Amino acid sequence: MRLFIDTASPKEIEEAMRWGVVSGVTTNPTLVARERFPDFHAAVRSIAAMVDGPVNAEVIALECEAMVEEARVLAGLAPNVVVKIPLTPDGLAAVRQLTREEIATNVTLVFSAAQSLMAALAGADYASVFVGRLDDAGHEGMEVVRQTTAIFDRHGLETAVIAASIRHPLHVVEAALAGADIATVPFAVLRQLLRHPLTDLGIERFLADWRQVSGNR
Ligand code: G3P
Protein backbone atom coordinates (compact mmCIF):
# COMPACT_ATOMS: atom_id res chain seq x y z
CA MET A 1 0.00 0.00 0.00
CA ARG A 2 1.29 3.42 -0.98
CA LEU A 3 0.01 6.94 -0.42
CA PHE A 4 -0.06 9.69 -3.02
CA ILE A 5 -1.01 13.27 -2.25
CA ASP A 6 -3.98 14.65 -4.19
CA THR A 7 -3.03 18.28 -4.69
CA ALA A 8 -1.22 20.71 -6.97
CA SER A 9 0.00 22.88 -4.10
CA PRO A 10 3.83 22.95 -3.93
CA LYS A 11 3.62 23.90 -0.25
CA GLU A 12 1.46 20.88 0.58
CA ILE A 13 3.60 18.54 -1.53
CA GLU A 14 6.80 19.78 0.14
CA GLU A 15 5.39 19.29 3.63
CA ALA A 16 3.94 15.85 2.84
CA MET A 17 7.24 14.71 1.31
CA ARG A 18 9.02 15.87 4.46
CA TRP A 19 6.86 13.50 6.53
CA GLY A 20 8.23 10.61 4.47
CA VAL A 21 4.91 8.86 3.83
CA VAL A 22 4.03 10.02 0.33
CA SER A 23 5.46 8.51 -2.84
CA GLY A 24 3.54 10.26 -5.62
CA VAL A 25 1.18 13.07 -6.57
CA THR A 26 -2.17 13.19 -8.34
CA THR A 27 -3.58 16.38 -9.78
CA ASN A 28 -6.63 17.26 -11.80
CA PRO A 29 -7.65 20.45 -13.62
CA THR A 30 -9.62 21.67 -10.59
CA LEU A 31 -6.62 21.28 -8.27
CA VAL A 32 -4.20 22.99 -10.71
CA ALA A 33 -6.64 25.90 -11.23
CA ARG A 34 -6.48 26.63 -7.46
CA GLU A 35 -2.72 27.34 -7.62
CA ARG A 36 -0.77 30.25 -9.10
CA PHE A 37 1.25 28.60 -11.85
CA PRO A 38 1.98 30.56 -15.05
CA ASP A 39 0.44 27.71 -17.05
CA PHE A 40 -0.43 24.03 -16.84
CA HIS A 41 2.87 22.74 -18.23
CA ALA A 42 4.82 24.89 -15.76
CA ALA A 43 2.73 23.32 -12.98
CA VAL A 44 3.49 19.78 -14.12
CA ARG A 45 7.21 20.49 -14.58
CA SER A 46 7.59 22.10 -11.20
CA ILE A 47 5.64 19.40 -9.31
CA ALA A 48 7.50 16.61 -11.13
CA ALA A 49 10.81 18.12 -10.04
CA MET A 50 9.74 17.94 -6.37
CA VAL A 51 8.91 14.23 -6.31
CA ASP A 52 10.79 11.09 -7.33
CA GLY A 53 7.61 9.03 -7.75
CA PRO A 54 4.75 9.32 -10.23
CA VAL A 55 3.14 12.72 -10.86
CA ASN A 56 -0.29 12.37 -12.46
CA ALA A 57 -1.43 15.08 -14.87
CA GLU A 58 -4.75 14.99 -16.71
CA VAL A 59 -5.50 15.55 -20.40
CA ILE A 60 -8.27 17.96 -21.35
CA ALA A 61 -9.04 16.67 -24.85
CA LEU A 62 -11.91 14.22 -25.29
CA GLU A 63 -11.15 12.79 -28.72
CA CYS A 64 -8.66 9.90 -28.98
CA GLU A 65 -6.02 11.43 -31.29
CA ALA A 66 -6.10 14.75 -29.43
CA MET A 67 -5.72 12.92 -26.08
CA VAL A 68 -2.75 10.95 -27.42
CA GLU A 69 -1.11 14.16 -28.69
CA GLU A 70 -1.67 15.91 -25.35
CA ALA A 71 -0.41 12.87 -23.44
CA ARG A 72 2.81 12.76 -25.48
CA VAL A 73 3.49 16.40 -24.62
CA LEU A 74 2.73 15.87 -20.90
CA ALA A 75 4.90 12.73 -20.76
CA GLY A 76 7.72 14.71 -22.39
CA LEU A 77 7.71 17.27 -19.57
CA ALA A 78 9.38 14.92 -17.04
CA PRO A 79 10.22 11.22 -16.84
CA ASN A 80 7.92 10.63 -13.85
CA VAL A 81 4.73 12.01 -15.44
CA VAL A 82 1.74 9.64 -15.58
CA VAL A 83 -1.04 10.77 -17.90
CA LYS A 84 -4.59 10.74 -16.53
CA ILE A 85 -7.19 9.80 -19.10
CA PRO A 86 -10.95 9.80 -18.45
CA LEU A 87 -12.82 6.53 -18.79
CA THR A 88 -14.59 6.94 -22.14
CA PRO A 89 -14.40 4.86 -25.33
CA ASP A 90 -11.96 7.41 -26.81
CA GLY A 91 -10.05 7.46 -23.53
CA LEU A 92 -9.57 3.69 -23.59
CA ALA A 93 -8.47 3.79 -27.24
CA ALA A 94 -5.95 6.48 -26.25
CA VAL A 95 -4.71 4.30 -23.37
CA ARG A 96 -4.19 1.39 -25.76
CA GLN A 97 -2.09 3.60 -28.07
CA LEU A 98 -0.12 5.19 -25.20
CA THR A 99 0.61 1.74 -23.74
CA ARG A 100 2.18 0.78 -27.09
CA GLU A 101 4.32 3.92 -26.81
CA GLU A 102 5.25 3.03 -23.21
CA ILE A 103 3.65 6.19 -21.83
CA ALA A 104 2.25 5.52 -18.34
CA THR A 105 -1.49 6.06 -17.92
CA ASN A 106 -3.96 6.42 -15.08
CA VAL A 107 -7.58 5.91 -16.10
CA THR A 108 -9.62 8.33 -14.04
CA LEU A 109 -13.29 8.90 -13.17
CA VAL A 110 -13.87 5.19 -12.56
CA PHE A 111 -17.16 4.55 -10.75
CA SER A 112 -17.79 0.80 -11.23
CA ALA A 113 -15.89 -2.49 -11.21
CA ALA A 114 -16.93 -2.98 -14.84
CA GLN A 115 -15.16 0.27 -15.73
CA SER A 116 -12.06 -0.80 -13.74
CA LEU A 117 -11.96 -4.00 -15.78
CA MET A 118 -12.19 -2.01 -19.03
CA ALA A 119 -9.31 0.22 -17.90
CA ALA A 120 -7.16 -2.83 -17.10
CA LEU A 121 -7.95 -4.56 -20.39
CA ALA A 122 -6.98 -1.42 -22.31
CA GLY A 123 -3.58 -1.64 -20.57
CA ALA A 124 -3.78 1.19 -18.03
CA ASP A 125 -1.01 1.31 -15.44
CA TYR A 126 -3.43 2.69 -12.83
CA ALA A 127 -7.22 2.85 -12.40
CA SER A 128 -8.62 5.55 -10.10
CA VAL A 129 -11.85 4.66 -8.32
CA PHE A 130 -13.61 7.79 -7.00
CA VAL A 131 -14.77 6.53 -3.62
CA GLY A 132 -16.01 9.79 -2.07
CA ARG A 133 -18.06 10.87 -5.07
CA LEU A 134 -19.77 7.46 -5.08
CA ASP A 135 -20.51 7.84 -1.36
CA ASP A 136 -21.91 11.32 -2.09
CA ALA A 137 -24.27 9.76 -4.63
CA GLY A 138 -25.55 7.25 -2.06
CA HIS A 139 -23.45 4.23 -3.12
CA GLU A 140 -20.78 2.47 -1.11
CA GLY A 141 -17.69 3.67 -2.95
CA MET A 142 -15.34 1.26 -1.20
CA GLU A 143 -17.30 -1.71 -2.53
CA VAL A 144 -16.07 -0.79 -6.03
CA VAL A 145 -12.48 -0.84 -4.73
CA ARG A 146 -13.09 -4.28 -3.16
CA GLN A 147 -14.63 -5.69 -6.36
CA THR A 148 -11.85 -4.20 -8.49
CA THR A 149 -9.02 -5.67 -6.39
CA ALA A 150 -10.80 -9.05 -6.31
CA ILE A 151 -11.16 -9.10 -10.11
CA PHE A 152 -7.59 -7.94 -10.74
CA ASP A 153 -6.19 -10.51 -8.27
CA ARG A 154 -8.26 -13.39 -9.62
CA HIS A 155 -7.29 -12.69 -13.24
CA GLY A 156 -3.72 -11.56 -12.73
CA LEU A 157 -4.37 -8.05 -14.12
CA GLU A 158 -1.44 -5.79 -13.35
CA THR A 159 -3.20 -2.42 -13.30
CA ALA A 160 -2.68 -0.76 -9.91
CA VAL A 161 -5.84 0.25 -8.07
CA ILE A 162 -5.92 3.82 -6.75
CA ALA A 163 -8.58 4.69 -4.18
CA ALA A 164 -9.27 8.34 -5.09
CA SER A 165 -11.71 11.03 -3.98
CA ILE A 166 -10.75 10.22 -0.39
CA ARG A 167 -12.60 12.27 2.22
CA HIS A 168 -11.45 11.04 5.65
CA PRO A 169 -8.89 8.77 7.40
CA LEU A 170 -11.26 5.79 7.57
CA HIS A 171 -11.41 5.78 3.76
CA VAL A 172 -7.63 5.20 3.76
CA VAL A 173 -7.84 2.36 6.29
CA GLU A 174 -10.71 0.75 4.37
CA ALA A 175 -8.83 1.14 1.08
CA ALA A 176 -5.81 -0.61 2.62
CA LEU A 177 -8.01 -3.44 3.90
CA ALA A 178 -9.72 -3.68 0.49
CA GLY A 179 -6.33 -4.29 -1.10
CA ALA A 180 -5.98 -0.97 -2.98
CA ASP A 181 -2.40 -0.49 -4.16
CA ILE A 182 -2.55 3.25 -3.54
CA ALA A 183 -4.79 5.80 -1.84
CA THR A 184 -4.47 9.35 -3.09
CA VAL A 185 -5.23 11.67 -0.24
CA PRO A 186 -5.83 15.44 0.12
CA PHE A 187 -3.38 17.23 2.43
CA ALA A 188 -6.02 17.81 5.12
CA VAL A 189 -6.77 14.08 5.32
CA LEU A 190 -3.07 13.25 5.34
CA ARG A 191 -2.70 15.49 8.39
CA GLN A 192 -5.71 13.83 10.05
CA LEU A 193 -4.11 10.42 9.46
CA LEU A 194 -1.19 11.35 11.73
CA ARG A 195 -3.13 12.98 14.50
CA HIS A 196 -4.62 11.38 17.58
CA PRO A 197 -5.65 13.31 20.72
CA LEU A 198 -4.08 10.61 22.92
CA THR A 199 -0.72 11.11 21.17
CA ASP A 200 -0.90 14.86 21.92
CA LEU A 201 -1.98 14.18 25.50
CA GLY A 202 0.80 11.59 25.92
CA ILE A 203 3.44 14.09 24.80
CA GLU A 204 2.03 16.78 27.12
CA ARG A 205 2.15 14.39 30.10
CA PHE A 206 5.69 13.19 29.37
CA LEU A 207 6.85 16.80 29.09
CA ALA A 208 5.09 17.83 32.32
CA ASP A 209 6.63 14.85 34.16
CA TRP A 210 10.04 15.59 32.70
CA ARG A 211 9.83 19.21 33.90
CA GLN A 212 9.08 17.87 37.38
CA VAL A 213 12.05 15.44 37.24
CA SER A 214 14.48 18.12 36.05
CA GLY A 215 13.04 20.62 38.61
CA ASN A 216 13.86 18.13 41.40
CA ARG A 217 17.54 18.04 40.54
O1 G3P B 1 -8.19 11.98 -7.08
C2 G3P B 1 -9.47 12.36 -7.48
C3 G3P B 1 -9.86 13.53 -6.68
O4 G3P B 1 -9.10 14.62 -7.05
C5 G3P B 1 -11.31 13.85 -6.71
O6 G3P B 1 -11.62 14.17 -5.43
O7 G3P B 1 -12.82 15.28 -3.65
O8 G3P B 1 -13.02 16.14 -6.01
O9 G3P B 1 -14.10 13.99 -5.34
P10 G3P B 1 -12.98 14.94 -5.09
Residue 26 Cα: closest atom of ligand 1? 1
Checking if the pLDDT of 216 tops 90, the result is no
Checking if the pLDDT of 49 tops 80, the result is yes
Checking if the pLDDT of 214 tops 90, the result is no
How many A from CA of 131 to the centre of ligand 1? 9
Rg of the Cα atoms in the chain: 20
Residue 164 Cα: closest atom of ligand 1? 1
Percent of the chain residues topping a pLDDT of 70: 99
pLDDT at 215 (0 to 100): 79
Checking if the pLDDT of 217 tops 90, the result is no
pLDDT at 111 (0 to 100): 98
pLDDT at 56 (0 to 100): 98
How many A from CA of 31 to the centre of ligand 1? 9
Which of 4, 31, 130, 189 has most ligand 1 atoms within 8 Å of CB, for mutation?
A: 130
pLDDT at 95 (0 to 100): 98
How many A from CA of 65 to the centre of ligand 1? 26
* The overall pTM is greater than 0.85: yes
Question: Chain-wide mean pLDDT for the chain?
Answer: 97
